Amino acid sequence: MKHEISELEWNDYLDGQAPVELRDHIEAHMIGCLECWEFYERLSEATRELGAASEEARLGLPLEDRRMHAMLRGIFSRIKPAGMKSQVEGRLNLLEEVLAPFCGAQAAQSALEAAAQNSPARSLDQVTPENWEPFLDRLSAIAGAMCGATFAGLIRESGRL
């Protein structure tokens, strides 16, 4: 991976599990690298929102801590630094992974398809970077109706191209 920081190292750093030398290395690098700094800022924001969403979900759904943690790590490993162009397919997979633990795999897939059908893309395989924004708008609205406003915000953050 570029910038000499692996996904595993980012995960450990964001989890607060990085050893001192790694922490120093990442922080020293971020001071001089705007791209990684912005990446970190985005992840911190997503982490906070996901924490809040998890809290909401915990009140209504029997999600185990371990499962939630596994999901968090899965999400982190898929969010790439801003400079690395994300592919639509990768974003769709990520959105499905964010949705599925909250509403089930079937409903997650249905939500993605409904969002595509009700946006200019018209179908999931026609979603492109050019029609991504209206698609994401629809998906956020659907996610909001299913799981609440915090969750809709999380979907929006996760789906940013």
The residue (of 12 and 137) whose beta carbon lies closer to Zn ion is: 12
Q: Please, is 73 exposed, middle or buried when counting C-beta atoms within 10 Å of its C-beta (0-12, 13-18, 19+)?
A: middle
Q: Please, is 33 exposed, middle or buried when counting C-beta atoms within 10 Å of its C-beta (0-12, 13-18, 19+)?
A: middle
The residue (of 3 and 78) whose beta carbon lies closer to Zn ion is: 3
Q: Please, is 138 exposed, middle or buried when counting C-beta atoms within 10 Å of its C-beta (0-12, 13-18, 19+)?
A: buried
Shortest Cβ 29–Zn ion spacing (Å) = 6
Number of residues that bind Zn ion (CB under 5 A): 3
The residue (of 7 and 133) whose beta carbon lies closer to Zn ion is: 7
Report the alpha-carbon distance of residue 100 to residue 92 in Å, rounded.
12
Report the alpha-carbon distance of residue 61 to residue 99 in Å, rounded.
13
Of residues 2-61, which lie at the interface with Zn ion (CB under 5 A)? Answer: 3, 33, 36
Shortest Cβ 73–Zn ion spacing (Å) = 21
Shortest Cβ 156–Zn ion spacing (Å) = 25
Shortest Cβ 81–Zn ion spacing (Å) = 7
The residue (of 84 and 105) whose beta carbon lies closer to Zn ion is: 84
Q: How many CA atoms lie within 13 A of 123 on its CB side?
A: 2
> Is residue 82 a contact point for Zn ion (CB under 5 A)?
no
Give contact residues for Zn ion (rule: CB under 5 A).
3, 33, 36
